Amino acid sequence: MTGLDYLWQALTPLNVLLALAGVVAGTVIGSLPGLTATMAVAVLVPITFSMEPASALILMGAIYTGAIYGGAYAAILLNTPGTPSAIATTFDGYPMAKRGDGDLAITLACVSSVVGGLIGAAFLLGLAPPLAEVALAFGPVEYFWLAVFGLTLISALSEGNLLKGLIGACFGLLLACIGVAEISADIRFTFGSQVLLGGIETVSALIGLYCIPVMIDLVATPDRHLKVTQQPRGFRLKEALAISWLGKFNLIRSSVIGTLVGILPGAGGSIAGLVAYSEARRSSKRSAFFGKGEPEGVQATESANNATVGGGFIPTLVLGIPGTPPDAVILGALLIQGVRTGPSLFTENGAIVYTFIYGLILATVLMLPAGLVIGRYAYKSIITVPKAILVPTVAFMTMIGTYAIRNSISDVVIMIVLGVVGWFLNRFGFSPSPIVLGLILGRIAEQGFVQAWTIGAATEDLTGMFFGRPISLVIILFTLISLFYPLIRKHWATTGGTANAG
């Protein structure tokens, strides 16, 4: 291991305190829908001016890590992904909570996040410079195919309801077109209204489409929000650890996927979580239970999205190209501190980089106790608060959270409208995930396509651009497998093959 001597510098009392405070603050912020890791880190920037660069980095990294984990609470307990990277957590987390296993789901999310965070950080520690090259190998056309691949996951995620899934995705793609166009800067589909000028903000769409229908249903039905068992069961840590041990390959695979996708600037946690989820489902013996409260599903997304933290720091620190939006803020703070990123950062400024990486590992480890305790509070308060208080409180939070993203009232209005639309669509069997995927991936696909087409047309090699690059071909292959996988499986099932073998 490199730079081991810096481990002790990371363990000064101040840094340990910062890591703990950061994780706690991050977890709380991340648990509130709308308050994102990016925002949390940005608010902190002025405080870090007066700190040592390494300590400042540790604090920001710890908040970031905590916020990604904290996003699991709302996903599990309220069916609301606080960040795009927690979308797939809702698939199994919320059903688990509904049947009374919310505490287990949260503990499991905590353990998985710690594992994912540690694996991501290990890659950052050991292999950052070579892995950064991956970020550069991904050109526009690779992003385009990656987004198309992500869109095909819809087919895998909406088995039996493929048509509705695709219709939902198309709706999402249309939503993605609203506002100032990604590349051409044209203004589209605003119908002359300035409300729509800024486009549909992803997180506010998430809050609207996922959370508002849950709120409406809560008001409309007399049932309790989540099923509650009588006796308190502690953290259920033993149970969670046992499940994690059984699912260790799932955890490792998901973390590696999370790290690799995290390295790609512009891909983001949503793709990481989804790819990890669908891979977990494909290879699981229990794939039939996915989407109905299968712990493996929570493990996959939560380990993958925390692994993107370490992965995202790889291009940020090695190339000076931020891997994720919070990384962009951290990079800016470093610049102001006078720290130059680049390959030389690892050799000349080893003290900063390695102290930071060990600090990040420390923060991740501290997330286990901190996350368990905060998670338990979150769970207890959600299940014990009467509905008459819970619904208005959550409704209030969704509005404040949506407003806070861009300081925009328009976003709040859009969020509520989408929420009501989402509720009606739910009644007709459309789930929010394909819509949101269309919204997120549509933008990535559009950017990649237009750029690849521009370059391909200029060099007079469009075919080679889209179908002649090795990485693209691999992604296309995955896309085809993912698209036809339900058919293949059906074929196996009818021909008497092993239906669940992956």
Residues of this chain, 174-203, that bind other proteins according to CB under 8 A: 179-180, 182-185, 187, 192, 194, 197-199, 201
239, burial (CB in 10 Å: exposed 0-12, middle 13-18, buried 19+): middle
Q: Which is nearer to other proteins, 288 or 347 (CB)?
A: 347
| CB 450, min distance to other proteins, A | 8
In angstroms and rounded to an integer, the radius of gyration of the C-alpha atoms of the chain is 22
| CB 380, min distance to other proteins, A | 7
Contact 103, 233 (CB under 8 A): yes
Q: Which residue has the tokens 């400042």?
A: 56
Positions in 400-419 near other proteins (CB under 8 A): 400-401, 403-404, 406-408, 410
Positions in 15-34 near other proteins (CB under 8 A): 28-29, 31-32
83 near other proteins (CB under 8 A)? no
**Contacting other proteins (CB under 8 A), which of 266, 311, 359, 422?**
266
**Contacting other proteins (CB under 8 A), which of 245, 348, 381, 424?**
381
Contact 109, 93 (CB under 8 A): yes
| CB 190, min distance to other proteins, A | 8
Q: Interacting stretch for other proteins, rule CB under 8 A, among 58-66, 169-177, 289-297, 321-329?
A: 321-329
**Contacting other proteins (CB under 8 A), which of 332, 350, 351, 466?**
332
Q: Which is nearer to other proteins, 74 or 257 (CB)?
A: 74
- Amino acid found at 344: S
Q: Interacting stretch for other proteins, rule CB under 8 A, among 100-108, 134-142, 286-294, 352-360?
A: 134-142
Bridge partners of 180, per DSSP, are 187
Q: Which is nearer to other proteins, 356 or 423 (CB)?
A: 356
Picking from 329, 4, 271, 269, the residue whose alpha carbon sits closest to that of residue 117 is 269
347 near other proteins (CB under 8 A)? no
Q: Distance between CA 138 and CA 329 in Å, rounded? A: 22
Q: Which residues contact 418 (CB under 8 A, 6 or more apart)?
A: 200, 204, 205, 208, 209, 212
Q: Distance between CA 370 and CA 305 in Å, rounded? A: 18
Q: Distance between CA 151 and CA 239 in Å, rounded? A: 34
Number of shown-chain residues binding other proteins (CB under 8 A): 80
**Contacting other proteins (CB under 8 A), which of 146, 333, 345, 437?**
333
Contact 236, 100 (CB under 8 A): no
Bridge partners of 179, per DSSP, are 188
| CB 479, min distance to other proteins, A | 21
Contact 277, 93 (CB under 8 A): no
| CB 359, min distance to other proteins, A | 21
Q: Which is nearer to other proteins, 153 or 319 (CB)?
A: 319
- In angstroms, the first-to-last Cα distance of the chain is 35
435 near other proteins (CB under 8 A)? no
Positions in 96-125 near other proteins (CB under 8 A): none
Q: Interacting stretch for other proteins, rule CB under 8 A, among 81-89, 226-234, 272-280, 444-452?
A: 444-452
Positions in 446-485 near other proteins (CB under 8 A): 447, 450-451, 454-455, 457-460
Q: What is the DSSP string of 144-172?
A: HHHHHHHHHHHHHHTTT-HHHHHHHHHHH
Q: Distance between CA 184 and CA 179 in Å, rounded? A: 11
Contact 311, 261 (CB under 8 A): yes
Q: Which residues contact 239 (CB under 8 A, 6 or more apart)?
A: 104, 107
Half-sphere exposure of residue 127, counting CA atoms within 13 Å on the CB side? 15
Positions in 38-67 near other proteins (CB under 8 A): 38-39, 41-42, 45-46, 49
| CB 123, min distance to other proteins, A | 19
Q: Which is nearer to other proteins, 454 or 480 (CB)?
A: 454
| CB 198, min distance to other proteins, A | 3
338 near other proteins (CB under 8 A)? yes
**Contacting other proteins (CB under 8 A), which of 4, 127, 137, 241?**
137
| CB 344, min distance to other proteins, A | 8
Q: Which is nearer to other proteins, 126 or 342 (CB)?
A: 342
502 near other proteins (CB under 8 A)? no
Contact 489, 184 (CB under 8 A): no
| CB 29, min distance to other proteins, A | 8
Backbone phi, then psi, for 187, in 5-degree steps? -105, 120
